[in-house]
Amino acid sequence: MTTVDEPRTAGRQLLLDPGMDLTLRPMRYPHFFDRFRDAIRNTWTVEEVDLHSDLADLERLSPAERHLVSRLVAFFATGDTIVANNLVLNLYQHVNSPEGRLYLSRQLFEEAVHVQFYLNLLDTYVPDEQERFAAFAAIENIPSIRRKAEFCFRWIDSVFGLRELRTRADRRAFLLNLICFAACIEGLFFYGAFAYVYFLRSRGLLNGLASGTNWVFRDESMHMAFAFDVVETARREEPDLFDADLERQVTEMLAEAVECEVQFAEDLLDQGVSGLSLKDMRAYLEHVADRRLAQLGIAPRYGAQNPFAFMDLQDVQELSNFFERRVSAYQVGVSGSVSFDDDF
């Protein structure tokens, strides 16, 4: 094991070594490049999401459900911007692989599309200008959202001062930031938010929000998978970065994220929503947190089961009636040329 806080010895180039590697051939991390290409094939645009029927649905929501939706969109109004900021300020700088940076550039574009989607959503859902401004100022005004934001800012700041990852401590700090954004923010806060959307969707409400969120969710799943891939690659290159202490920090971080999200749930479910009890929501969040730990090879903390059958539904293939909904299952990049003897 290397000595703590000594500069890393330069042997072959490692992923977290400082620098701006520009060499795409030979490619060191082709799996990053594959993810980049997969992401491009999933391109979607905000204009494809039809929010038309949502406006009628908003009218039929109960006051409790309307409260839930207004809090939720207030969170969405700023959530993706925070993630994009961390990507630019921290991740892009330190993932020293041009193919990895290609993926991050793509991710940045996707975050921008998400921001645009939720901007469009709020402009549509909240016609009153003053109310709309209030929604965008949610991180100032709404305590349950502010707490989540502060959690994010704290982790952005934790590595913001680092220009280069020279020491083991630097690299561990960076990994914690990366894990925080992947596992806690995209992997837990967003997964929490998606659960509300899918709950409404399972009741046939707010299809437009759900179809856009479906695409956002697909992107976020990939962001998280990429981040975990980076973590795993760094772990393989520098096993000594990982130890019981790091595991403990990750577990604590997730536990804090769960509490932040539970507080948000208390706010959202404040007026009682039938089919979405706070207890079930907590169990769901704990279940998701356990999954993040498992993905990182860390023992689960809660042993919780997913209580939401409507989330089970997200795991199976979808089939839409084209009369009713736009199908989200098509790919953008298709290759090949005309031939007549291919197998089909």
Partner 1 sequence: MTSTAQSPPSDVDGAQPRRPAMRVRKRDGDTEPVDVNRIVTAVARWATDLDEVDPLRVATRTISGLYDGATTAELDKLSIQTAAELIGTEPQYSRLAARLLAAYVAKEVRGQEVASFSESIRYAHGLGLIADDTAAFVARHARQLDDAVDPAGDLRFEYFGLRTVADRYLLRHPRSRLVVETPQYWLLRVACGLSTTPDEAVGFYRLMSSLAYLPSSPTLFNSGTRHTQMSSCFLVDSPRDELDSIYERYHQVAKLSKFSGGIGISFTRVRGRGALIRGTNGRSNGIVPFLKTLDAGVAAVNQGGRRKGAACVYLEPWHPDVEEFLELRDNTGEEARRTHNLNLANWIPDEFMRRVEADGDWSLIDPSDAPELPDLFGEEFDAAYRVAEKKAVRTVKARDLYGRMMRTLAQTGNGWMTFKDRSNRLSNQTGVPGNTIHLSNLCTEILEVNSDTETAVCNLGSVNLGAHLTDDGVDWDRLRATVRTAVVFLDRVIDINYYPAEQAAASNPRWRPVGLGLMGLQDALFALRLPFDSAGARELSTRVQEEIFLTALETSTGLAERFGVHPAYPQTRAARGDLHPDLWGVEPTQTARWAALRDRIAAHGLRNSLLVAIAPTATIASIAGCYECIEPQVSNLFKRETMSGEFLQVNTYLVRELKARGLWTPEIRDRIKRAEGSVQGIVELPAEVRELFRTAWELPQRALIDLAAARAPYIDQSQSLNLFLSAPTIGKLSSMYLYAWKSGLKTTYYLRSRPATRIQQATVTVAPVVAADAEALACSLENPESCEACQ
Q: Which residues within the stretch 205-224 sit at the binding site for partner 1 (CB under 8 A)?
A: 205, 207, 214, 217-218, 221-222, 224
Nearest to 107 by CA among 155, 36, 30, 45: 36
CA distance 164 to 196: 39
**CB nearer partner 1, residue 112 or residue 294:** 294
Using the rule CB under 8 A, is 321 a contact of partner 1?
yes
Dihedral sign from CA coordinates of 138, 140, 141, 145: positive
CA distance 195 to 201: 10
Residue 31 is labelled as binding a ligand: no
CA distance 30 to 61: 48
Of 258-317, which residues contact partner 1 (CB under 8 A)? 266, 269-280, 288, 291, 294-297, 306-307, 309-317
Binding window for partner 1 (CB under 8 A); candidates: 24-32, 100-108, 112-120, 239-247: 24-32
Active-site annotation holds for 302: no
User: What x/- string results for residues 144 through 183 when contact with partner 1 is judged by CB under 8 A?
Assistant: ----------------------------------------
- Total site size for partner 1, rule CB under 8 A: 100
CA distance 160 to 244: 25
Q: Which of 118, 125, 196, 284 is catalytic?
A: 118
In angstroms, what CA-CA distances link 289 with 5, 140, 188, 237, 278? 30, 27, 7, 26, 16
> Binding to partner 1 by residue 120, rule CB under 8 A?
no
CA angle 310, 251, 164 (to 5 degrees): 115
State the nearest-atom distance from the C-beta of 232 to partner 1, in Å: 4
259 is in an annotated binding site: no
- Closest to partner 1 by CB, 118 or 199: 199
Q: Which two tokens stand for residue 98?
A: 């041009």
Residue 43 interacts with partner 1 (CB under 8 A)?
yes
Token pair of 100 as six digits: 């990895």
Q: What is the DSSP string of 27-86?
A: -S-HHHHHHHHHHHHT---GGG---HHHHHHHHHS-HHHHHHHHHHHHHHHHHHHHHHHH
Interface with partner 1 in residues 186-205 (CB under 8 A): 191, 198, 201-205
Selected binder of partner 1 within 61, 225, 246, 255 (CB under 8 A): 225
Numbered residues of the known binding site for Fe cation: 80, 111, 114, 186, 220, 223
Active site residues: 118
